[in-house]
Structure 1
């Protein structure tokens, strides 16, 4: 199996400050008593689930006489006093707007109203601001061991729900809601096992590990709450070392665990349930984090392998954190932690929703997912070209795999096993990215696990037949669709001169440069795509625009693809592109150096994010530091150090000395630390110690002239005559008259001018 902002809550405050006497709370006639109402769990306009944690602040003597009124009726939620404030969870909110008033119980009629706010309540199933929800949408709580979802309609909409005994269809679940559930698990030193509180504390399992709380060794038992919010499955975990759960082991800090992958929606994902939902780094890091007293929250809606709608992820995180605050109280701060797509979420949440996270440790990050699709869309095009070139001429220079780096920019190897051929020699484009582009771009490619899940849950045949499996269609609420139901996309390579830098440096000749650019082509329009036959067509060439006579100067060059201008604008407007303009939280961008493995999580991405920050907001750039480790194991150890540094930063309100760029070797020993260790990557200084130890590679677009920012979807074009005159092709790359004519045929509208802004 598998930034729109809502309406602001209105506030009505009567009068000014009051001097309270020891005898009571009477005030001068022109100075009525004053209190302040606020919502702690969310913004007032983004309340969900019918309840909210609220606060009343006033002078202590006045607090004694404050009463609360909800929608014109008195209410009495349990409120805990903390000096000049009291807080508690207000229930009974209706969907839509609710007026909450604080009144003075002993005041005159003129002074009765102290403060009022409007709380706008939304369903716990969502949405808050992301618009209509997807159908079909496969509920997966059963796979998480959390049972079937609740029936919420008998109209055949959503997920079928059956009587477990008789197999009879009971109805359907549109919202995938499940009852809240509490489970306990204990850590045995290597993993988690179910724990029975009724007997386990008195008669502990023999392999029960311990941890230290307030200086004393206690049983390493974790209480896990699971449920559904915004149609996704959340979990909340924290230490519960004694039979009475009183939160005493919680350090009042929250880690929001964000997971990676690339998904195309239409499914709920599975819960991070502690006896069957953890793997890899989760099993290595979570025990260490929980042992220190952090609470850890996660949601399947914050797993990029479930979907890559960052507004939906943001909405889910808002609602899930809101629930945490209502249930357990407001944390001192919230730290994001997670890799790949989980790291992307940290960058984009910081940009799009200030206050959601207070700091973060993005691991194996990208600035965003969408700008990655631009150079990665080049990979299959170039891979198919190299394949054709070698097929036509086994002595082709492209038969030496490492030479392909000249055009693709990414690393390549003559010895690493090829993920397609199974023989030595391959590239990052193939081993790192070969599955990424078709699964995001091809509307006909459906992960077979979707059909397996639909069959397992007894969906009717053809339930998924009308889904178009692209990232852009998954975000149809943002991009819109055409008359055939296809969403426009941002992929564009008009004017891109592949291999330009290699030509200018004299590393390929003019004829080869022209052949590449005449033959590479572009992707077809969405309506023309066919299903991907991966084994027979590993590069998805059937969906490329390729010229049959492209190698002949007299032939017709393969057509390029123009990205949709409106879609590019919507990508920026919706916050799916990290621009670097706003980053007000500290981030430690941490990654193992995986270039030798040709892994897709290349180290260039951290510097792409920094380059955007430096261009847009140098003050924000000071909030990001880059840590690189020589191996996965050393990176995992660094992750705990990074969490501690971010914790100290937030506790002190200033950057500690350890919040600085650094790199370590595979064994965990420091190579270099300090502001100059990455010199030579984003400046013209001599290479720093870390830059030497861990060299950064580029991309097809960087070889074609784009900067390391990598944020241009559609380049500005300049006339070919201008490019020929301005030195674009280097002193050693003169063209003959015939080659100039071929160049003009390949680029009739001009070539990319990356010195101009382009669409970004």
Structure 2
């Protein structure tokens, strides 16, 4: 429990309370209007960790004299004082569950507010937590028998309960004056094998760290100073708080003066009240506790007075349950408010899976993030999975005898055959799907599996591993096997988030959204003459789908319709209407191929992974346009050199531009909507531009969209679903169907081919003119505490006269 010194005593002693009660302190005459009680750090029904920042609002004409505040029979009046014209205080020691806080003053009658408190282990709105879940340990441990390897927590003590709560620790570091140093973490986590009995290897701190441990009272010769954005020059000393929240391990870093106190009602002045929340990349659903994947050592923000925050449960690699992730951000922000002080605004940042989590916060719970600077962006995981699954099926299909025979019979060279693949896939070349296949093709596997990998980008040849693995990172004996262990842990993203999706009729597997029923792969390629009618029909005959156990089958995949409803209603498919409430700067580089290398790449292939395609940023924009008629809140900065990671110069420019944007938004106290405020506050620098691949210095901003689009390394491609006729929004998880109509193929199919196609699509083909099955507006801020489907949060609790 957090401990803070008490504020000024207003009704401080039992004797004083008794005297003042007789004189009117807490004497609540029925004619006196009641006070109003508000929680400031979060809603009163979403409080965590036993603390709540509370404001007592006095009725007109009332005074704070004789203030009396009680909770659970305890007098907490001494926590309250008039601060900046407001009567506020931090109430600590709240019991688990419902608490009744009662407040009154001499000439204002009593009111009460019900406060519901949940432990810091969670959950609050994401429903029951998935088990098993393996806690991190102070020292990493190798796998033994039925226990998987554990990750090092970065904390000195063991977890105290099954929710992996670990005692919070604080460490001090200082920034050195060294001209050349490493911003890598000064205390890296040891490398732990996922599925191995091999002892973990030790991660070595950088030889020349920019941040070194600081000893209180010392003045290192190389101690740097920094000037914050408020103009204060201070020693560059950072305090890092490390602890656990919602079963994740978090880091909170901020400039700190060890010689001075810090309380939430009197924060140290060098913190500017702004939070940079860092979301980690990739996607996964391990059943193990990790440290955050992102480093707190972000100089551009720390040096200016920002607080830098991360939690491993908001790293996409460690948690693909987007509601749980969003809940974790909510809990972290409340903890900051209760421990450090009021937050002015929160800026999110992240690449790839990190961008998914930033977008998911904006879609699932608008308002948690005020703005975001993202790169290599995707809108969400459910619709991104459309491309992943399609690529898996297509890459496998291209290796089947029926397809290979067509290529051989036609006498095609490898380059000609690959051109057909690229046309069907919608990508720059065939390696876009190879990259998806290798990187995330197995991410939806529910049980133990042998990983399959494309080993030749020319032929598309696939190799299968000889060792079993699983996405839970649990011993294989504990994981689902259809025959030998049907009740074992299931390891897909949907099974990790069963509390959100609910279980199917068998009571074991989670409902899911995978679907390709009615999808005509290669339709546009056929119409454009890139493939023949025979190739089109054959491909759709052999492509098949996956069953509910993630096994390749001849039949097409079928989504659970209940899961589709949840995905859209909860905002798990990113909502353009919800995203419009958040400022976005999207930095988009080139990652469209594994063989067509852009200028500036010196570490190929490490600098490219082949999956962050240009069209994704414009797909997000299309959702905004379709939902709102504009994309006033979104800016796209494209760069044609050096791969998909923005330069430090661009990242800093985006950070400063977003800071200016959000500062102006927060200064707008009008009654305008947040969408209107975002548009009105948009800085001049927040506008679309690109840096051409021919610009070696990457210094000339080009605002001519046509010129940007003409650059070969800025040109947008598409996806298999778009080639099949789907929209750029890429948000139709399951299409509505219509009968096969010969007129739709412009005479490119023979009668026999049409007959075969009708056999493939006996229930119909996708009708892209209609919304997807279950597609509906996002409701926002649903709670899954009561179970399946989620319910809108009830009205926020308010105080009432007692």
Q: 2 CA distance for matches of 1:451 and 1:514?
A: 35
The yes-or-no answer on 1:180 pairing with 2:180 is no
Shift of 1:322: 0.6
1:659 match: 686
1:68 match: 69
User: Which string of whole-angstrom CA distances, capped at 9 and with x for unpartnered residues, describes residues 218-238 of structure 1?
Assistant: 443211001111111111101
How do 1:202-213 residues align onto structure 2 when only pairs under 5 Å count?
A: 202-204=218-220, 206=222, 208-213=223-228
User: Which string of whole-angstrom CA distances, capped at 9 and with x for unpartnered residues, describes residues 41-86 of structure 1?
Assistant: 1111000111111122347971243221213442234335324203
Q: 1 CA distance for matches of 2:36 and 2:769?
A: 53
2:358 match: 346
Q: 1 CA distance for matches of 2:116 and 2:41?
A: 13
Shift of 1:629: 2.0
The yes-or-no answer on 1:479 pairing with 2:495 is no
Is the 1:157–1:174 Cα contact (8 Å) retained in structure 2?
A: no
The yes-or-no answer on 1:496 pairing with 2:519 is yes
Q: 1 CA distance for matches of 2:168 and 2:556?
A: 52
1:525 match: 548
User: Which string of whole-angstrom CA distances, capped at 9 and with x for unpartnered residues, describes residues 27-46 of structure 1?
Assistant: 99997356432111111100
| Cα 1:636/1:184, change in 2 over 3 Å | same
The yes-or-no answer on 1:386 pairing with 2:398 is yes
Shift of 1:704: 0.6
Any idea what SS the aligned residue of 2:254 has?
strand
How do 1:222-621 residues align onto structure 2 when only pairs under 5 Å count?
A: 222-240=238-256, 243-244=259-260, 247-271=268-292, 278=295, 286-388=298-400, 391-392=404-405, 394=408, 395-396=411-412, 400=416, 401-412=418-429, 426-445=430-449, 462=478, 466-482=488-504, 483=506, 485-526=508-549, 543-546=551-554, 559-582=555-578, 583-597=580-594, 599-618=610-629, 621=631
Answer with 621-630 or 229-238: which moved more.
621-630
Shift of 1:314: 1.0
The yes-or-no answer on 1:136 pairing with 2:132 is yes
Shift of 1:517: 1.1
Is the 2:28–2:104 Cα contact (8 Å) retained in structure 1?
A: no
User: Which string of whole-angstrom CA distances, capped at 9 and with x for unpartnered residues, describes residues 71-127 of structure 1?
Assistant: 3442234335324203221012111111212211x33xxx431x4321111111111
Is the 1:373–1:437 Cα contact (8 Å) retained in structure 2?
A: no
2:237 match: 221
Q: 2 CA distance for matches of 1:601 and 1:438?
A: 18
2:749 match: 735
Aligned pair partner of 1:714 in 734, 749, 763: 734
Q: 1 CA distance for matches of 2:164 and 2:340?
A: 24
Any idea what SS the aligned residue of 1:595 has?
coil
1:757 match: 771
Q: 2 CA distance for matches of 1:478 and 1:187?
A: 43
2:780 match: none
| Cα 1:309/1:446, change in 2 over 3 Å | farther
Any idea what SS the aligned residue of 2:336 has?
helix
Q: 2 CA distance for matches of 1:289 and 1:368?
A: 26
2:48 match: 48
| Cα 1:311/1:144, change in 2 over 3 Å | farther
Any idea what SS the aligned residue of 1:225 has?
strand
Shift of 1:635: 3.9
Q: 1 CA distance for matches of 2:493 and 2:25?
A: 60
Q: 1 CA distance for matches of 2:398 and 2:254?
A: 53
Q: 2 CA distance for matches of 1:170 and 1:65?
A: 46
Q: When the two structures are superposed, what TM-score results if normalisation uses the length of structure 1?
A: 0.78
Unaligned runs of 5+ in 2: 1-23, 187-210, 263-267, 452-467, 595-608, 666-680, 776-802
Any idea what SS the aligned residue of 1:119 has?
strand
Any idea what SS the aligned residue of 1:347 has?
helix
Aligned pair partner of 1:701 in 721, 733, 739: 721
Q: 2 CA distance for matches of 1:405 and 1:451?
A: 30
Q: 2 CA distance for matches of 1:220 and 1:480?
A: 49
Shift of 1:504: 0.8
Shift of 1:735: 2.4
User: Which string of whole-angstrom CA distances, capped at 9 and with x for unpartnered residues, describes residues 325-347 of structure 1?
Assistant: 11100111111111222211222
Is the 2:471–2:492 Cα contact (8 Å) retained in structure 1?
A: no
How do 1:8-23 residues align onto structure 2 when only pairs under 5 Å count?
A: none
**RMSD value, Cα:** 3.4
Is the 1:228–1:234 Cα contact (8 Å) retained in structure 2?
A: yes
Answer with 181-190 or 333-342: which moved more.
181-190
| Cα 1:27/1:442, change in 2 over 3 Å | closer
Is the 2:239–2:256 Cα contact (8 Å) retained in structure 1?
A: yes
Shift of 1:707: 0.9
2:215 match: 198
Higher relative contact order (CA 8 A, sep 6+): 2
Is the 2:281–2:353 Cα contact (8 Å) retained in structure 1?
A: yes
| Cα 1:309/1:28, change in 2 over 3 Å | closer
Is the 1:77–1:89 Cα contact (8 Å) retained in structure 2?
A: no
Q: 2 CA distance for matches of 1:492 and 1:369?
A: 14
State the aligned residue count: 643
Any idea what SS the aligned residue of 2:104 has?
strand
Q: When the two structures are superposed, what TM-score results if normalisation uses the length of structure 2?
A: 0.74
Unaligned runs of 5+ in 1: 1-23, 146-155, 163-168, 413-425, 530-542, 547-558, 679-686
